[in-house]
């Protein structure tokens, strides 16, 4: 599901632009990042605690991208990206309230594989770092969008957020069964 192919000789602006758009073009990455934001907002009403989970995802995403870019062969990347949708969707659908450190660890685990997928696909050269900068900015914005949506969706009722979680988990389950 992660995106193959980037220009053979990218210019810097196109790599930054591709990085900004990359998380929006892949449904698997987009849903995972939205799920992290939604879940953190619904599980942790305190903004200080809620932001911990998306920040953990973002930092470990960067680590995974750098390791993938360095050429490390990381096994099970795609299956764990699919599993992340299933697990994060279930956490949201079930309104799970783990200790914030446990939630940050869980999302960090999955973020590593999302990042590795990005890093293993990058072309070498200076444009790669701009691509990473772009997808990091987009990732943080998607997390923030999820957090705002989570706060709005659960203002009166939890069912909209639970439904979103069930949809994300279902999508992850379909991907796992189909082996995509």
Question: Can you say whether the dihedral through the CA atoms of 21, 24, 27, 29 is positive or negative?
Answer: positive
Q: Is the pLDDT of residue 48 over 70?
A: yes
Q: Which residue ranges make up each domain of the chain?
A: 23-178
Q: How confident is the model at residue 149 (pLDDT cuts 50, 70, 90)?
A: very high
CA distance 82 to 54: 18
CA distance 81 to 79: 5
Tokens of residue 118, six digits: 């990005």
Q: How confident is the model at residue 100 (pLDDT cuts 50, 70, 90)?
A: very high
CA distance 19 to 137: 9
Average pLDDT over residues 2-28: 74
Per the CB < 8 A criterion, the answer to whether 21 and 141 are in contact is: no
pLDDT of residue 92: 96
CA distance 123 to 46: 40
Average pLDDT over residues 116-142: 87
Contacts of residue 138, Cβ cutoff 8 Å, sequence gap at least 6: 19, 20, 21, 22, 23, 24
Q: How confident is the model at residue 120 (pLDDT cuts 50, 70, 90)?
A: confident
pLDDT of residue 124: 63
């Amino acid at each position: 599901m992660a995106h193959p192919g980037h220009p053979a000789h990218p210019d810097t602006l196109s790599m930054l632009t591709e990085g900004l758009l990359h998380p929006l073009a892949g449904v698997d990455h987009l849903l995972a990042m939205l799920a992290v934001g939604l879940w953190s907002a619904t599980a942790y009403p305190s903004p200080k605690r809620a932001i911990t989970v998306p920040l953990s995802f973002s930092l470990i995403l960067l680590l995974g991208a750098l390791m993938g870019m360095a050429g490390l062969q990381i096994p099970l990347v795609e299956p764990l990206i699919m599993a992340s949708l299933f697990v994060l969707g279930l956490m949201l659908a079930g309104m799970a309230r783990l200790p914030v450190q446990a939630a940050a660890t869980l999302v960090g685990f999955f973020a590593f594989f999302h990042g590795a997928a990005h890093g293993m696909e990058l072309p070498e050269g200076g444009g790669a770092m701009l691509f990473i900068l772009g997808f990091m900015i987009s990732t943080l914005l998607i997390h923030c969008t999820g957090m705002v949506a989570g706060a709005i969706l659960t203002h009166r009722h939890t069912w909209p957020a639970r439904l979103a979680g069930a949809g994300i988990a279902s999508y992850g389950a379909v991907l796992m069964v189909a082996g995509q």
